[in-house]
Structure 1
């Protein structure tokens, strides 16, 4: 087999490129920004100056640095680009139109799929970093029509999550954040029994998906389920076996 180098590319074999916010948060195993989360290599690129506050505030000037970072990832050979904040949905369509490779910036892009696999009358529950910021603008940018099919609950009033992720104190107590995330999931399902599946919007919530699932007994989707799904489409396995 003959291999050819791509001009300017430093390394190879990273199909997924991940754009990271400029934040001061510990990224534990299971987090989108922790390399040990994956069974395959990924390439990270921090978007300098693109803070959590700017993204939650829907800063329209965030697109240019996001585009520059995504173009750098594409130039390094990744075959698809994602992000680490569901609120990046605001830039999904524009960035996808600007690159020649697939773009799936937001975990919220999974909502139409999740909704389609649930029976009539069932709802998708979304646990988000900030329920006030997750408005119709963000949902519609992700291809989601706001309405009765969604139940949204936020983590902004949970002390340990808020301190670690929103206030960026630099310290994260995973045991306490897990407990807070589970409590939000339980409260949601208790208040709305028609919830048939949950989506953890924030990339920092992915490590707690198993605990949430154990507590509520429902399918739980997050950023990592989406990234694994896209990777499986980009890098197909060769099957061997017997009949």
Structure 2
């Protein structure tokens, strides 16, 4: 078999490209920003100057740097592009329209699929980084009906999470943050018995998904479940077994 090099590409084998905010926080295993989270290679590209604050401000001047970083990933051979923040939903349409690979910028893209699993009176419980910034506009930007039943709780009241993810002090204690995430999940299901699935919006929350599931005994979806799903479609494997 004769294989052909792609012009401008100097490494191969990475199907998922991940756009990173310009942040200062440790990315532990399970975090979207930690390569050991995956059973396959991924490729990262930081969008310089694109801070979490600028994202929440919906800074339109950042669109061009985002597109440039995304194109760099495409040039380096990735087959699909995601991000490390669910609120990157704000840029989903523009990026998908410009880049010539599938784009899935937010974990929230899973909402229609999850909603279709539930009865009309049941809800998806969403644990997000900042509930005050979780707006219908995020869903509309993703082409999602904002009337889908949701229960939303944020992590902005949890000191250890805020210090690591919002204040970016440069350190984190996984055990303390895990406790905080579990507390939020437990509060959510206690407040609303119609919550039957949990979706973790924030890319820093997947490390705690297993503990959340043990605590509330519900299916838990997150950024990593979405990335793994897309990877399974991008790189199909042959089946082995016996009859």
- Aligned pairs for 1:1-243 (under 5 A) are 1-147=1-147, 149-243=149-243
Q: Return the TM-score normalized by structure 2.
A: 0.98
Q: Residues 25 and 194 from structure 1, CA distance in 2 versus in 1: closer, same or farther, beyond 3 angstroms?
A: same
Decide whether the 8 Å contact of 1:109 with 1:142 is kept in 2.
yes
Decide whether the 8 Å contact of 2:21 with 2:47 is kept in 1.
yes
Distance 2:144 2:105 in 1: 14
Q: What's the CA shift for 1:206? A: 0.8
Q: Aligned to 1:127, what secondary structure does the other structure show?
A: strand
Q: Return the TM-score normalized by structure 1.
A: 0.98
Structure 1, residues 196-235: CA drift from partner, whole Å, max 9, x if none?
1000000000100000000000000000000000000000
Q: Aligned to 1:14, what secondary structure does the other structure show?
A: coil
Structure 1, residues 178-205: CA drift from partner, whole Å, max 9, x if none?
0000000000000000001000000000
Distance 1:156 1:138 in 2: 18
Q: What's the CA shift for 1:169? A: 0.3
Say how many residue pairs are matched. Answer: 243
Distance 2:57 2:155 in 1: 16
Decide whether the 8 Å contact of 1:125 with 1:197 is kept in 2.
yes
Structure 1, residues 139-194: CA drift from partner, whole Å, max 9, x if none?
21122333360100000111000000001000110000000000000000000000
For structure 1, the residue ranges without an aligned partner over 5 or more in a row are none
